[in-house]
Structure formats: structure tokens, C-alpha cells
Amino acid sequence: MQKLNRNTVEGLSPLPIKIMQFGGGNFLRAFVDWMVQVLNKETNFNAGIAVVKPTESGDYSALKSQDGLFTVVLDGIKNGELIAEKTIVDCVQKVLHTYNEWDAYIALAENSDVRFVISNTTEAGIKFNSNDQFEVNPPQEFPAKLTRWLYHRFQYFKGDSSKGCILLPCELIENNGVELKRVVLQYADHWGLNNDFKTWINTSNYFCSTLVDRIVSGFPKERVDEILAETKYEDELLVAGEYYHSWVIAGDSIIQDELPFAQTDLNVEFVEDLGPYREMKVRILNGAHTSLVPVGYLSGIRFVKEAMDDSVVSNFVESLLNEESAKTLDFPNEVKQKFIAAVLDRFRNPLLKHQLISISLNSTSKFVSRLLPTLKDYSAIERKLPKRIVFGLSALIRFYKGDFDGEEIDLKDDPVVLDFFSDIYSKLDAGVISLVTAVDIILSNSNIWGEDLTLIDGLAKSVLNNIDNIESKGIKTSIQLL
């Protein structure tokens, strides 16, 4: 079987390098690079990518040996239909290592075609290190390497405002663009770079905060033979993921004009403020996961897809999202409904093996960040408790007993949290305290919930009633009684 490279794929033309990309891992290749491929095919974007290795370990040898080519395999539900898509991505034109090819990396700053800088250097990647010295090639941290590159570009083009860049960090930290700009300017101060450079950074470059969303599972070991039989070539960099994708970019009209996503069906939005979009993702996608885990698990279900195949549990989740979570979000109804439908489609994807127990990690803190604000906002708006979110909390508390129907549950949380629940349930089982007292003690623990939840009117009574029903009637009957 032939290896995938530019000799085995016909009709490929070189592309001008318009994008410098820090990182060549699975996510960027199956998310950003795939999107650039779509832009090149469907618009006149015509952009090549230079992938830059920001860390010392590894050398992207596979990407080099395949001339920057790789295959992206996407599966999922689109408009209720199961789809499968395979795409050869050919937009990567160059691969550079900052430790082995520093001069070539810096020389890339002299390329007038380069306009975009994209990065995904993990949540810990955007940080300042006072030990980084300007004279060291390369400095250690990614923003330091970027600052060196930007400074060389500033000098080479003599401060030309048209040679600034649009920077689109994909790191999963809040306000990633704002933070990256802050650290770049911190290095400029640390190294004593001139004020003209800092002015150029502030006025000629656009640091855009972004919010990315796609599940990328990586190399599909279980399906590789089947896929290679179809593609008829060997590909070490084959990468699989879900079809669903979302990229929300905080950027003005200049950014939109230069990135013609509007001419495609790609799910990319340009907004002024990422905050509401982050809130919608947390309250709907993440909130659905957090409520689904204990309810599904206590129903005897072990995978997300199984939960969506169960009419009682799936109706519970859908109703929670549509009738409770959505009412707390300040978006047009059609936007909320579209997002909810996409989330439910993702949950129904038969090729994503999401174990409920793995999602259950740190469920108490997840409830605090993902569902408690929704519970409180809904109560303020509707002047009543959201009964499904409250039921999810009740199931979560019962889940943290650590066993159900004679089966042990492999709980994973802060040891202090686990010890607390273990102590409460030991006393409850021994008859030392009643269920009423146990619920009050649990809900009043502000170390777990961040506040005393017994102060929320009617909550303790509802949780007590739900847990009592779960124990006496079973969880599915209890759901149907809501």
C-alpha cells in the first residue's frame, strides 16, 4: 500500500503560506486545518499553513514524511442523519521546529503573505516566564517565541501597519486572545523592546479570543483497517472526530472579511463578546452531561448513547434543556433550539463511546459551575424550582453513596468530598441520622456547594422527596412522576 504524500496524490498545487500554526496535534489538524481545507475548496481563501513545533520533544517527522498531508475522518449526526466524511487535508505546506530550525522560523516573519497566527499549546501554554531571555534561541515559552517572531517582523517591515497579524489562539482558557496579548506585551517590557513595537502590537495586530468545540478522538485504531481499505493508502496521521464543530471568534468586521467562513456551511460565528456563548455551552452541553451522569447511571445505563436510546432518560434530558436551562439564556429562541438540537445529536453519535463513569469525575464541582447557576436563575425567573435540575441534584447525592442496587460505583472526586459523603451515608445506614437530617447536612455543606443550599426555598424538601422516591419506587418511575 502506497504512503500518503504529494507523489501519490495527483493535482495538488503549492499554496502561499498565509497561516503560521503553533502545534500540529490531532485537534488542530482535525479542526482548524480541516476548516482551512474547506475554505480553500469553497472560497478564494487560497491559504497554506506553516506548522511550527513549539516544544522541544518530538519533531513532527510523520507530518514531514507525508509532505504535510493527512486524512480527517468525521462521523456524526447532521440534521438527524448519520453521516461519515473522509477528507485529505493538503493545506499544510511547511513544517518547522523552533528548536532545530530557529533561523527558518524567524525567517518566516519576513514572508509578507503570512497574516494569521493560530495556536493550541494546551491550557498551560499561554504564560510568562521571567527566565526567558531575548538572546536565547529559542526562549522556552510559546508566547516568548511568538514575541521574538513578531519583533523580527516589526523590524523587517519597518513597523508597516499592514504587516500585522490576526491571532486566533485555541487554548482552552477564558479570554485566550486577551491573555496572549497581555503576555506578549509583558515579554516586550521584560526584554526592554521599544515603545514603537508595543504600539504596533496594539494597533496593527488583532488578538482574537476564541471558543472551540469538537470532539477529536485521534487515530482510530479500531477502524483503521476498514478506513485504509477505502482510502487505498497508508496514513500515519489519520485522525478521527465527530462531525459537529463550533468556532466562536470575538472579532470585528475586518476579521470576518478576511476569513470568509460566511461563504461556507462551517459553524463559525463572529461575535463581540464570547461570554454568553461560553455560558450557553456550559449550561447546555456541560450541564446536560452533568445531569445525565447520575440519572443515567442509576438507571443501569453506562454510555451516553445508551442513555439517548432510553426513552425515559432521553426525555428527561431533552426536557431539562428545553424547559429549564434554555429559559435562563439570553439568546433568540431559534439559536437556543439549534444549539440544543446539535448537543442531542452529538449525544446520539453511535461512534463516540462516552462512558458515564468517566464523565462523572468531580461531579460535585461540575454541578456548582454548570447547573447551580441555572437552578438559581430559573428560580428567580419562574418563581419555582426547576424540577429536573433538582432531580439531577437528588440523583447526584444518591450516586455519591457509592453503590446502587448492590453494585459498587467507582466514584472519583476530591478525597475530602468522598470522605464527607461516606461518613454521612455510614451514619444514615446505621440509623444514627435520618434521611431528612442527611439531606440537610449535605445541602448545607458550603465547602462542597460554595454556599448553603438549604437556604434555597423548597430545595431540601424536593431533594428529600426525590431521594425517597428513587429508593422506594425506582429512578425511572421517579422521573415519570416529575
Helix (H) or strand (E) holding 116: strand 116-119
**DSSP string covering 371-437, please?**
THHHHHHHHHHHSS--HHHHHHHHHHHHHTTSEETTEE----S-HHHHHHHHHHHHHHHTTSS-HHH
Whether omega before 138 lies within 30 degrees of 0, making that bond cis, reads: yes
Q: pLDDT averaged over the chain?
A: 96
Helix (H) or strand (E) holding 87: strand 81-89
pLDDT at 181: 99
Q: What are phi and psi of 288, to 5 degrees?
A: -65, -45
pLDDT band at 356 (very low <50, low <70, confident <90, very high): very high
Q: How far is CA 407 from CA 205, 246, 339, 403, in A?
A: 57, 38, 36, 5
Q: How far apart are CA 454 and CA 439, in angstroms?
A: 9
Q: Are the C-beta atoms of 363 and 414 separated by less than 8 Å?
A: no
Average pLDDT over residues 223-240: 92
- What distance separates the 2 farthest-apart alpha carbons in the chain? 79
Q: Which domains does the chain have, with CATH numbers?
A: 17-271 (3.40.50.720), 275-480 (1.10.1040.10)
**Residue 60 CB neighbours (<10 A):** 19
374-396 burial: b if 16+ Cβ within 10 Å, else e: bbbbbbeeeeebbbbbbbbbbbb
Q: Are the C-beta atoms of 332 and 341 separated by less than 8 Å?
A: no
Q: How far apart are CA 370 and CA 289, in angstroms?
A: 9
Task: Report which DSSP code applies to 3.
Answer: B
Q: Would you state the cell numbers that stand for residue 304, as one nine-digit string?
A: 451516553
- Could you give the percent of the chain with pLDDT greater than 90? 90
pLDDT in tens, 421-459: 999 999 999 999 999 999 999 999 999 999 999 999 999
pLDDT at 472: 97
Task: Report which DSSP code applies to 219.
Answer: S
**Residue 53 CB neighbours (<10 A):** 21
Q: How far apart are CA 101 and CA 104, in angstroms?
A: 5
**Residue 246 CB neighbours (<10 A):** 18
Q: In the predicted model, is pLDDT for residue 221 greater than 90?
A: no
- Could you give the percent of the chain with pLDDT greater than 70? 100
Task: Report which DSSP code applies to 120.
Answer: -
Reading phi first (left if > 0) and then psi (alpha if -120 to 50, else beta), residue 291 is in alpha
Average pLDDT over residues 205-218: 94
pLDDT at 353: 76
Q: How far is CA 116 from CA 36, 103, 147, 303, in A?
A: 12, 20, 15, 40
Helix (H) or strand (E) holding 216: strand 216-218
**What one-letter code names the amino acid at 3?**
K
Q: In the predicted model, is pLDDT for residue 41 greater than 90?
A: yes
pLDDT in tens, 148-177: 999 999 999 999 999 999 999 999 898 999
DSSP alpha helix (H) spans, 29-81: 34-42, 61-65
Q: How far apart are CA 434 and CA 431, in angstroms?
A: 7
**Residue 95 CB neighbours (<10 A):** 23
Average pLDDT over residues 393-401: 99
pLDDT at 341: 93
Q: Are the C-beta atoms of 358 and 376 separated by less than 8 Å?
A: no
Q: Which residues pair with 52 in a beta bridge?
A: 22, 96
Answering whether pTM is above 0.95, one says no
pLDDT in tens, 82-138: 888 999 999 999 999 999 999 999 999 999 999 999 999 987 899 999 999 999 999
pLDDT at 447: 97
Q: In the predicted model, is pLDDT for residue 78 greater than 90?
A: no
Q: In the predicted model, is pLDDT for residue 50 greater than 90?
A: yes
Q: Would you state the cell numbers that stand for residue 422, as one nine-digit string?
A: 461516606
Non-local CB neighbours of 19 within 8 Å, separated by 6+ positions:
36, 47, 48, 49, 50, 114, 115, 116, 117, 118
